[in-house]
Amino acid sequence: MTSTILKAHMTKTLSELAAHVGGEVIGDGGLVIHGVRPIGDATEGYITFVSNERYVRKLRTTQASAVIVPPQHKDIGKPVIVTPNPYLAFARILRLFAAEPEPRSTGVHPSAVVSPSAKLGQDVRLYPFAFVGDHAVVGDRVTLHPGAYVGHGCQIGDDTVVHANAVIYDGCQVGKRCVIHANASIGNSGLGYAPDPAAGAGRFWYPIPQMGIAVLEDDVAIGPGCSVNRGALGNTIIRRGAKIGGHVVVAHNVEIGEDTIIVDQTGIAGTAKIGKRVTLAGQVAIAGHIEIGDRVTVGGQSGVHQNLPPGGTWLGTPAVPIDQTRKVWAILPRLPELRDTIRSLERKVADLEAKLAALSARNDPSK
């Protein structure tokens, strides 16, 4: 069964693919490749890849005609492309085979609503019920899918795509070549409230006006269902090239550095600053008003409550260096056994103390 997302009838030789990714061919460079498939599903005529040691064992059983491998796994008995970064090579080869989207006509659908004061660039696509507010500026070749909302005074850079029902609130700025997926919210007011003990019932939390905006620089990707709050004073800023997965919450005045990647369901509290090329795995929680240094990796479901220096991998709640967390986790299954051992030792120590006290009393001449 031919995949509908691959270019029909496209083929490349193994040598052509290796040249495309700067890899080395071992084996038949003239081997014809029809596409890319996962290692467990690949069949004759397809290439696959191994970048994770967990899948090395499948090299013995894969039916793929060729494999993209790191140097340490080049001798597998079948044609390979050897490269130090198989995952990146896989991505580049997959793009060769990926079907181009069908050309779509440009223009504004009759049901879209565009303010007379808004400015639309050339070759824009506005689908049904898209909305562009007063004085908004939409760049060239921007696509607004059905129900997309661009508020008053927003600026949307060239070649940006806003998917269905995503909302960009008033005044926010989105750079060039950004992708905002369905149901994302850019520039909504965050959880900004001040306690007012003297207020009446139901008015304890006094709303703080959120006067800033949210700024997405060029080449930013925002996943579905994300919330990027506008700043309270100053702006919330997502720097160039950052990629954010689904259902991530970025609170007011957060700054996320260039080329950082944030996996689904992560939450970042207000005024936190995340460095460049940081990786935050799924369901990470970042406390407010802290700084995460450049190139830090934080493992899934970790809780970060303090500043982290540049570099290094952190894991756990509270997050500590990963080697320390692994030592703690290695002990956890033995805790019941260790508890019983400690209780037994405590009883033995108590018995010894009692015997020593009795012996001391018998040897005391004054008694």
Catalytic residues: 252
Contact of 166 with 184, CB cutoff 8 Å: yes
Which residue pairs from 293-299 have beta carbons closer than 8 angstroms and sit at least 24 positions apart in sequence? 294/257, 299/325
Which residue pairs from 47-54 have beta carbons closer than 8 angstroms and sit at least 24 positions apart in sequence? 47/14, 47/17, 47/81, 47/93, 49/86, 49/87, 49/89, 49/90, 50/86, 51/85, 51/86, 51/87, 51/90
Among 210, 252, 206, smallest CA distance to 227 is for 252
Kindly give, in sequence order, each residue whose CB lies less than 8 Å from that of residue 213, ignoring residues fewer than 6 positions away.
Answer: 171, 172, 173, 187, 230, 231, 235, 236
Among 229, 119, 124, smallest CA distance to 168 is for 229
Contact of 275 with 296, CB cutoff 8 Å: yes
Tell whether the torsion through CA atoms of 116, 119, 120 and 126 is positive or negative. Answer: negative
- CA 118/CA 231 separation, integer angstroms: 24
The HSE-up count of residue 72 (CA atoms within 13 Å, CB side) is 6
